[in-house]
Every structure is written in structure tokens, then in C-alpha cells.
Structure 1
């Protein structure tokens, strides 16, 4: 029996080990397939990535011929590796980035080579000790000066890479000249190989399926407008969707998660906008851009859009707030709010279309439909003063109760306690009343009982009135943000028109009918928007 148990135990261990090995083999076999799917998804998301990878491989193959082919190797020698290093470092995804780094590298190498040759001419007729002193002093002075200039904002923005290459090349040539006699040939070979590498990079970037930084910046700006329009409509629709019954919880979470995609792309675009605008300024004027194109205007427009996106983010915050207005109250304002969001989204779509097609938008892009939607929202808020003026009713009720107690002769102490309690919030007053009722026994005097009996219904009335106000308060914030969005939309429109004027967008075609209708006066729109900004005060009127 012992031998049988031992055999069974050994068999179980072998089977367990076999299962583990089989599972490991299946997992390892699935890894290449998952990697392949991931790589394919990256390429399908933007096919230009695969094209750029092919261009980089072709450029490296071409520059490697300088080292592989015998005639080129005899003429250049081991310095051919500088050309390979240049291609690896300079070739970038967009043409502007490649031109910027290529010219920086070429200019830095030329200046460093000329300065190193000048130092070599000065130190050529001196002794070994004095020559070493001159080399060390020149390396220190040039290293200090070049490193310090990298802190200048203008240098750091456009020529930081060039200063770095200048510093590297100068030190290599100057220090190696102390041991090597033929410095001129060394400088010539390095300059020629770097020039060959930069030429190959510029050829692949400018002439073989080029990717322009300016076009990327232009497309990303159009995408920001479209993403904001989508986020606004989705946010408002989701805000009023809570009153519907039978909604899928998972679908609701996915819908709410997709809202922030649009405005997040705008809020996180500052660095990419500045980089693309900087690289676009280095690009040659292609297609219709035959003049100095105002790429920095796109950066300024992106800054205005980010301020607009802050309002959209705050609107999304109202949707995610823990304190929400009940669906019965929200349903009263669903139509006007949805109309305002829809009209704002239409204006953003119109601005996106005008930028995309390089044409001017309508003279007054704010539509009369948006103005009417704001008026409807203001009228809807005015029609429900009880929801927004509960605090005034509460104060009036408190005064009446206080006068009743004073007239009934309850005394100054009782009056002061009633006054203090009347200014407390509904939750605090109710909780303190319950605690006092449960912890302390009721006083034996009849006067105290009458006073307590008088305060209890009063506190309930205050609590109900304050509760109505607190329930409408989240919606008041939501409505104010909608109107604030319209006001900031005017700033966005002004910046778009500045871009159109400086970039020489073509005029709007005659007979072009869109959603936009002239309002006649921007001051009228601003005044009506300002009135709607304070729905509570407007309802008080």
C-alpha cells in the first residue's frame, strides 16, 4: 500500500507539472499574437507611422552604404559612422522637426569646426605646455559660454539642439587636435559625413510622402472644436437622462466616461500645440501657403479654447456631483438647456468647418436660435421663483415666528434661541432637534412645553423650504455654466476671426446658408447673456 501511494503521489506531481507546462506554452504562444494585434492597431490608428518607419529604414540603409561600399569607405573611412548617427538623431516624424534638427546640427557643426580650426591656428606655433593650456582654457570658456546661452529663452526654444551639437563637436575636435596632427582633414570628414546624413534625412522628409507639422496643428485645432461640441451635447443629454427609468448602468458609465474625451484633449494640448507651431515655422511654404503663415495664432486660439474647455469640465463636474437636483425639478428645464447646448455645439461645428476649409465664417456666427434658447431658459427660471427664492420665504417665516413668541411673552432667552435656530440649515436644525429630544428629558414647565410645541412645526417648515432651495441650487450652477459657456464662446469666435484675417482665409461664398443668422448687434446678445448669468436674481425681479 505504501508503494502504491508513493506511485500515485508521483503520478499526481507529474500530471500537475505537465499541466503547468502546457498552460505556460499556451500563454507564451498567445503573446506573439497579442503583440501582433497591438502593433497592427497602432499602425491602423495612424498609417503615417508605418510609412515613417519604412522611411527611417530606407534612410539608414542608404547611409550605411558609405561604410559598406569600398569606394566610399576609402574616401571617408571610419567617419562614415557620423552619417549613420546623424540619420538616427535627425530624422523625425514631421518635416518641420527634421528640418529644425538638421539645420541645428549642421549649423552647430560648422560653427564648432570653424572655431576649433581658429584655436588650432592660434596654438600651432606654441610649445606643448602652452598648447595644452590654450586647449584647456578654450574648452572651459566655450563650454561655459555655450552652456549659459542655453538658458536664454529664445535660444532654448529654437536653437538648443544646435548649441548642444556645437559644444559636442568643438570639444571633440579641439581635444583630439592635441594628439592628432591633421585636424583639417578630421574636421572636413566630419562635416561632409554630417552633411550627407542631413541631406538624406531632408530628402526622405520633404520629398517622400512628407508629414507636415502645420497640417497636424491645423487638423488638431479642427478636432478640438468638434470634440468640444460632442462633449457639450453628451454632457447635457446625460444630465437630463437621469430621470429616465430602465437605463443600463454600464451604458451610462461608458457614456459619462466618453464625455471627458473631448475637453481633455483640449486641456492637455498646450505642449503639443507649441511644439507643432514651432516646427511648422521651419517648414517651407507648401501647397497654398506661399507666405509667412501665422502658426502662432493657432497657439493663441488653443489657449482661448482651453479657457472655454474649463467651463465644459465644470459642467461635467455638475454631472458627477454627489448633490443632484431631483429629476422632477430638472425636467422643468430640460428643453431650454438642451436647446442651448445644441446651438452652442452647432456654432462650434461651424467654426470647425470654416477652419478646416480655410474659409471665413459668417459675419455674426452667433445664431438667433441660440439667443432664443437663452431667453427660453431665462423665462423657465423666472417661472419657478419658489425653487430659487426659498431662503427669503424662510426668513419671513422666521420673523413671523419670532414676533409671535415675543408677543406671547416667552421671554428674551426663548426668543434668542428661536432666532439662533432659525438661521441654521435644515439638516443641522433637524438633527439638533432630534438629539435634544432624545437625550434630554422634557422640562416640567407648561411654558417650555408650549414653546417646544411651537418650535417643532416651525422647524419643519424651515427645513422643507430650505430643502427646496438646496435641491434647486445644483441646477442653478448648471444653468449658470451654460450661459457662461455662451459668453466665452464669443471670445472664441473673436479669436477665430483674427486667425481668418491674418491667415487670409477666403471669403464666404454668396448664398451660403447655414444655421447662422445675423443678430444685428453683439451688445444686445451680451446684455441678454449677462442677465441670464444670474438666474436667481433674474427670478427675483
Structure 2
């Protein structure tokens, strides 16, 4: 006999089944959590090792902060010092945490701003306290309220001044905070002057400790960081240009590079550090202006000229971005056609890279550039590229391009293609294969006429109902109907490569001006060995460069 199953029993069985599944899910989550917890110490150690290996100065700075905090904590831990300073000794600890920065320039900027703001606020608060004591209780309260309003509004408005905001914004903020604390507290606390004295002493002790640790114990100079970052940017641009040209004329297909992420692309890393350097350069230049003359030559380095040079390098980097965009365009010139211009383009990119590397070496060694910076090899490379282009007139001018009209339209379309290459690269790449009726001189024949392109689009429209999907297909068909559609990307790439040569003049001018203002030593061919080989540079985002050598 089959036992009868009541509705309540079914509910109980279903509940037990759900509870069993929940328990199994809970065990699986617990096991995953335990596995992650077991690998957490190893991951933490790898991260710590990687951060310290990238820049060993980070380890030294962490030890300096720990030592400074220990020293100012003695004001609170040692009984005689605590009796002399009082409970306000904790302000020294807070000052060290806030003021002690990675570089000496940043520490000087914040420390002097904090000290100056505290001194001015205390002096003004003492003056207001004197006026309040001479007035009655009610008049004193009114005077304090009016003073807080006027000083608070004036100080806040001053912070909008460009010069104040750039150099003394932190000092004005500390002034406003200290003034309000002392002035408002003086109305209820009778011994407020003693508290203000103790607080000022502790802040001065904290700032002094920070300045000593920054200037005397393994100092990190903002000016050196700015100097070396400029060298790295020049080397990164040199590496990116040569890598772009080598990849563009590579004989083997590299499909795996099409889907590579930007963070893993060495070419992208090379010029990204240049494009993202504006804020870093301005901050380092500001902090360097606070630093004393610490070099053995005691020259005052023109830090604003480094900022100006960084702006020129960013404009130069935009052309490199466009070159990199040509590697990921939707329509690609066949490799058989690219091979015709491979040697002159590679040679030209090598000469441009040599110039950038020589500029980087001159800044690194603080010497003027070589007189033979722009050698005849660069001019010869340009002439070879020009000759290679002239040797294929039908390739770039089409079958009706003997006159000037075809050439002008070609240049206009090449400019449009170069502008489009600066946009985000598409996910895929489509390479147009040469037609069957290709000439011996690789003149590209028309793929489709305008009428055939229109008929093909009409057939596609009949097969598909969604009009939105047909618009990009129509644009591709219209592009491939052009006679020189396959040569257009190559023309854009060559024009951008020539543009890098044109922009070299601006970079050289700024480097020469920097050398004149910074009193770089003269070039000595007997004591200088210039290497033209481009080293491997791993540019890490937000990584401070190491010290250079004189």
C-alpha cells in the first residue's frame, strides 16, 4: 500500500530540501572564504615587495615618518616634557601626520604654511582678546561675532586669488581654523592665552621635526623628481614611436595584440605617462620652488621651464597617439603594399628616436645637446620616404590622379583619417586585400563603383529589417568604393610620422632653452658616449622616478 502524503508533509519535505541547499551554499561560501584567507598573507607580502621594489625611497619615507612620530610622542610620554607642554603635546603628533610629506619641497610648503598661518592667527586673536577685555560682556560678544564674520569671509575670499590658491591655500585654511578656535574659546575660557601659547609651541616642535627629517635624513627633492620624470617622458616617447612603426610593418600577423588591454600595451604605457603629466609637473614645480639650492653647483633651476617643456612633450605625444591609433583602424593597407615603404619609415622612426634619446641624455647629465643632434641621416631618411612615395604615383593618386585635384583630395582624406585615428580604436581590424587586377607597381584598383555599392546596399536592406544595423555597413561599402581606400591608412600613417619630425624642432628649442637657463655644462665629445639604443622602460602610473646623477 502506498502511504498517503498530506499537504503539510509536502511542505516539510520541501522546506528540508531548501534548507539543505542553503546549507550546501553556505559551506561552499565558507570554503571559498577560507581559501582566499589562506592566500591573503602571501598576496599582501607580494604587494609590499612590489611597491618597495618599484621605488625603495618609499620604504625609507615610511621609516622616517615612524621615527618622527616616535620623537614627538616623547613630549607626551616623558613626564618632565609633559609637565612643561601639557595636554596640547598631542598637537605635535597631529602636525607630523599632516605635514611630513614624501618630498622635502612638499614638507617645506605645508610646514611653513602651517607655521605662518598659526602665527598670524594667534597674533590677531590676541589683539581681539585685548579689545574684548576692555569692553563689556555684551559688547565683547558682539565684537567677537563681527570679527569672526569679517575675518572668515575675507580669508575665504582670498583663497580664490590664483597666487594665494597656488602657494598659500593651506596656510590660509590653518589661519582660519586657528583664529576661530582661539577667538571663540576666549569668551568662555579665562586662560585661553596659555592654551594658545602651548598649542603654538607644540605645532612649532612638530613642524621643526618634519623639516629636519625631510632635509637631513635621506632627503627626497621634488626638483630631482621633476628632472628625472622629464627624462623618462622623452625616453618613453622614443620607445613608443619606434615600437609603433615596427608593429605597423611587422610581417607576421599579431592577432593577440588586437584584444590586448591598454594597461598591458607597452606602446600605450610609453605615451600615457606623458599625457597624464600636467598635474604632476605643476605640483612638483611648485614644491621645488620652496626647496633650497641643494646641488653642488648651487644653481637655481628654472622649474617652470620644465613645466613648459612638459607641455611641448604632450603636444608631441598627441602625434604618437595618432600613430598608435593607425594600428587599430578598421581599414588596413595590405602588408604587400606596406612593404614598399617599410625601410624608409623604419629608418625615419629610428632617427627620430635617436634625437629624443639624445635630448633625454642631455637632460639626465645636465649638459647641452650635441651639435650634431639633427644629423644628415634624418634628412636622408625623409628624402628616402619622399622618393618611395613618388615611385608609386598611381597608388596615391588613383587612375585619374595625374592632375592636382586628385592629389589634393587624397591629402584631405588622409588628414581626415589621421584625425579619426586619434579616437578610441575599434575592437577588431579589417584588412582589405588587393584586387585581382593589381598592377606590377601595386597601384590599387577600384573595389566597387558607386552604382554597384548602391545595389549591394539595397540587397542588404531587403534582407535585414533593422535599419540601424545597416548604417555602418553602408559606410564601409562607401569607403571601399574609393579607388585609393587601401592606400589611405598608409598615407595617414606616413603623414603622422613626418609630423613627428616637424614637431622635433619645438622640443629641441625648449630643451636648449632649459639648458641655457639651468646653466648646463657644455657638450664634450671626448667625455660623452651617446647611446642610441632605446632601453626597455616600464612606465608605472603615479610612480615617482629615482634620482639622476650629475
Q: TM-score normalized by structure 1?
A: 0.79
Tell me what 2:514 maps to: 499
The partner residue of 2:181 within 157, 172, 177 is 172
Residues 391 and 469, structure 1, Cα contact 8 Å, conserved in 2? no
CA deviation after TM superposition for structure 1 residue 515, in Å:
8.3
* SS, match of residue 485 in structure 2: helix
Higher relative contact order by CA 8 Å / sep ≥ 6: 1 or 2?
A: 2
Q: Render the CA deviation track for 1:55-85: whole Å, top value 9, x for unaligned.
A: 1111111111111111111111111111111
Tell me what 1:60 maps to: 69
Residues 82 and 194, structure 1, Cα contact 8 Å, conserved in 2? yes
What RMSD, in angstroms, separates the aligned Cα atoms of the two structures?
A: 3.0
Tell me what 1:155 maps to: 164
Equivalents in 2 of 1:508, 1:190: separation in Å? 55
Q: Render the CA deviation track for 1:214-236: whole Å, top value 9, x for unaligned.
A: 11101100000000000000000
1:200 aligns with 2:209: yes
1:220 aligns with 2:242: no
Q: 1:144–1:315: structure 2 CA closer, same or farther, 3 Å change rule?
A: same
In the TM superposition, what are the counterparts of 1:80-91 in structure 2 within 5 Å?
80-91=89-100
CA deviation after TM superposition for structure 1 residue 477, in Å:
0.8
The partner residue of 1:430 within 452, 455, 472 is 452
Equivalents in 1 of 2:133, 2:334: separation in Å? 89
The partner residue of 1:109 within 108, 112, 118 is 118
CA deviation after TM superposition for structure 1 residue 187, in Å:
2.0
1:249 aligns with 2:256: yes
Q: Render the CA deviation track for 1:7-41: whole Å, top value 9, x for unaligned.
A: x9999998886666444322211122212211221
How many residues align? The count is 461
CA deviation after TM superposition for structure 1 residue 249, in Å:
2.7
1:384 aligns with 2:406: no
Residues 367 and 522, structure 2, Cα contact 8 Å, conserved in 1? yes
Equivalents in 2 of 1:251, 1:320: separation in Å? 7
Equivalents in 2 of 1:185, 1:20: separation in Å? 59
Tell me what 2:538 maps to: none
Q: 1:111–1:20: structure 2 CA closer, same or farther, 3 Å change rule?
A: closer
**Structure with the higher fraction of residues in helix conformation:** 1
1:98 aligns with 2:120: no
Tell me what 1:132 maps to: 141
Equivalents in 2 of 1:436, 1:181: separation in Å? 92
Runs of 5+ unmatched residues, structure 1:
397-423, 441-462, 517-541
In the TM superposition, what are the counterparts of 1:250-289 in structure 2 within 5 Å?
253=260, 257-289=265-297
* SS, match of residue 282 in structure 1: coil
1:469 aligns with 2:487: no
Q: 1:15–1:350: structure 2 CA closer, same or farther, 3 Å change rule?
A: same
Residues 125 and 183, structure 2, Cα contact 8 Å, conserved in 1? yes
Q: 1:495–1:391: structure 2 CA closer, same or farther, 3 Å change rule?
A: farther
Tell me what 1:305 maps to: 313
Q: 1:214–1:466: structure 2 CA closer, same or farther, 3 Å change rule?
A: same
Q: 1:203–1:388: structure 2 CA closer, same or farther, 3 Å change rule?
A: same
Tell me what 1:405 maps to: none
Q: Which moved more, 1:24-33 or 1:354-363?
A: 24-33
Tell me what 2:343 maps to: 335
Tell me what 2:416 maps to: none
Equivalents in 2 of 1:158, 1:90: separation in Å? 15
Q: Render the CA deviation track for 1:465-518: whole Å, top value 9, x for unaligned.
A: 9654111111111111111110101110000000000000000114457589xx
CA deviation after TM superposition for structure 1 residue 261, in Å:
0.7
CA deviation after TM superposition for structure 1 residue 253, in Å:
4.2
The partner residue of 1:79 within 81, 88, 91 is 88
Tell me what 1:523 maps to: none
Equivalents in 2 of 1:117, 1:219: separation in Å? 47
Tell me what 2:524 maps to: 509
Equivalents in 2 of 1:92, 1:356: separation in Å? 25
Equivalents in 2 of 1:24, 1:187: separation in Å? 52
Q: Which moved more, 1:482-491 or 1:359-368?
A: 359-368
Equivalents in 2 of 1:176, 1:182: separation in Å? 10
Equivalents in 1 of 2:173, 2:47: separation in Å? 36
Residues 336 and 376, structure 1, Cα contact 8 Å, conserved in 2? yes
The partner residue of 2:58 within 41, 49, 61 is 49
Residues 390 and 466, structure 1, Cα contact 8 Å, conserved in 2? no
Tell me what 1:536 maps to: none
Q: Which moved more, 1:353-362 or 1:249-258?
A: 249-258
Equivalents in 2 of 1:232, 1:125: separation in Å? 74
Q: TM-score normalized by structure 2?
A: 0.78
1:142 aligns with 2:164: no
Equivalents in 2 of 1:495, 1:12: separation in Å? 70
Q: 1:473–1:73: structure 2 CA closer, same or farther, 3 Å change rule?
A: same
Q: 1:109–1:493: structure 2 CA closer, same or farther, 3 Å change rule?
A: same
* SS, match of residue 138 in structure 2: helix
In the TM superposition, what are the counterparts of 1:12-51 in structure 2 within 5 Å?
21-51=30-60
